[in-house]
Amino acid sequence: MNFDQVNQRYGTYSMKWDGAQNVYQNPDVIPMWIADMDFQSPQPVIDAIKKQAATGIYGYTTEPNMTAIPQIIATWLQQQNHWTINPDNLGYSAGVVNGLGLAIRALTQKGDAIITQTPLYGHFKIAVENSKRQLISNPLIKKDGTYSFDWDNLEKQISDNQVKMAILCNPHNPTGRVWTSEELKRFAQICQQHQVIILSDDIHSDLILPGNTYQPLAKIYPEYQDHIITFKSPSKTFNLAGLQFAYYYTTNPDYQKQMQSAAAYASNPDFPTAFALPALTAAYQDSQDWLHELLAYLADNLQWLTEEIETQTPAQVTRSQATYLSWIDVSYLRCSEDELLTALDAGGIGVQTNREFGLDEQVGLFIRLNFATPRELLETGVIRLIKVLQQLEKD
């Protein structure tokens, strides 16, 4: 796979590129905001979609559990994570956020408190608040360029607010932390002590950068697995977000029934698109070599941008262990978040900052930059970013 190939994405109904014109003022902006990749999907996936398209019929798709999909997923989790699951315990949704929202509505009541860590993936906040639940924040601790849990505050917040559910992001978006087995066990033990249901968003779990190891929480802490729901998808890994397909796993049959009932009550079931199941099959069965090459390319991109930014500005790039999202601390700047966003937009670089991740300016200024793009585009974007930061430092 030639990851250096620059692909024209304007005019392809891309939210990241075409949608950027509705977010940024500069028509020349390089969009490095939304978490999808500027690389083509693996060739086996492209071939599978072409074959499906050639049928010329795009009617309703069968439910995944009526196909070989559950076993294909189980085999993938065994190969990738050495995690043995029962395929009968899988559930499906149009996306991980859809699944999280479904679990929130099915397993908690209006007004219940749900806790997560900040900085957070912005759609956690939307999913909780749109369901009329109360979002409780447990800020992560930043030290020596990485992030860790604030255990004392986590337990205090759970106790003080009578928290019913916790959302874990593993690996963490936007910081790129891959939680260790010890951290995951301690998190689960605290939740177990207070009978808190855990939703674990593991959508980035196949994007573990070389030298790091991911573990599913339900695998390493089976003592509480009946109160853990793990959410995954091939969408981030193989650049398939537009196909709208995700899955979740729980060993608790009551959770499954309640989520299925909530889905049926709310709307039609989340049937996958006509292209999602062939794409998943090709991704999980025939695209591992592509994934290995991708991870090496991403690691090189991250190393390059870190060296460029940190040698030319006082900014600190978080030592990401996973994902293709760089979390950059620019708290040394003496400007507001709005001023930072305006300058970045004018400089032609489309990124996201504090407010998208549940942070106010009192904790500092931060930028999330998507580096899953060909090196040529990455270099142009990072050069623009550095120029903006250098000018802001002078002002």
171 and 144 in contact (C-beta within 8 Å)? no
Spatial contact of 393 and 361, defined as CB atoms under 8 Å apart: no
For residue 63, the model assigns a pLDDT of 81
CA distance 200 to 329: 26
Note the helical H segments in the chain: 43-53, 69-81, 96-107, 122-130, 151-160, 181-193, 217-220, 235-238, 253-266, 276-286, 288-312, 337-346, 375-394
- Summarize pLDDT for 241-300 with one digit per residue, the tens: 999 999 999 999 999 999 988 887 665 567 788 899 999 999 999 999 999 999 999 999
Please enumerate in sequence order all residues whose Cβ is within 8 A of that of 364, keeping only pairs 6 or more positions apart, or say none: 329, 330, 331
Residue among 312, 320, 368 at smallest CA distance from 340: 368
User: pTM of the entire structure?
Assistant: 0.97
pLDDT tens-digit map of 67-114: 899 999 999 999 999 999 999 999 999 999 999 999 999 999 999 999
**Other CB atoms within 10 Å distance of the CB of residue 395:** 9
What is the pLDDT at residue 338? 97
pLDDT of residue 71: 97
Q: Structure tokens of 242?
A: 């537009």
Kindly report, residue by residue over 162-207, the tens digit of the pLDDT. Answer: 999 999 999 999 999 999 999 999 999 999 999 999 999 999 999 9
What is the residue whose two structure tokens read 């460029």? 308
What pLDDT is attached to residue 263?
83
Residue 362: per-residue pLDDT: 86
pLDDT digits (tens, 9 = 90+) for 316-372: 999 999 999 999 999 999 999 999 999 999 999 999 999 999 999 889 999 999 999
In angstroms, the CA 220 to CA 218 distance is 6
Phi, psi of 118 (to 5 degrees): -115, 145
Does the pLDDT at position 64 exceed 90?
Answer: no
Query: For position 66, what pLDDT does the model report?
Result: 80
Confidence at residue 266, expressed as pLDDT on a 0 to 100 scale: 64
Residue type at 372?
Answer: A
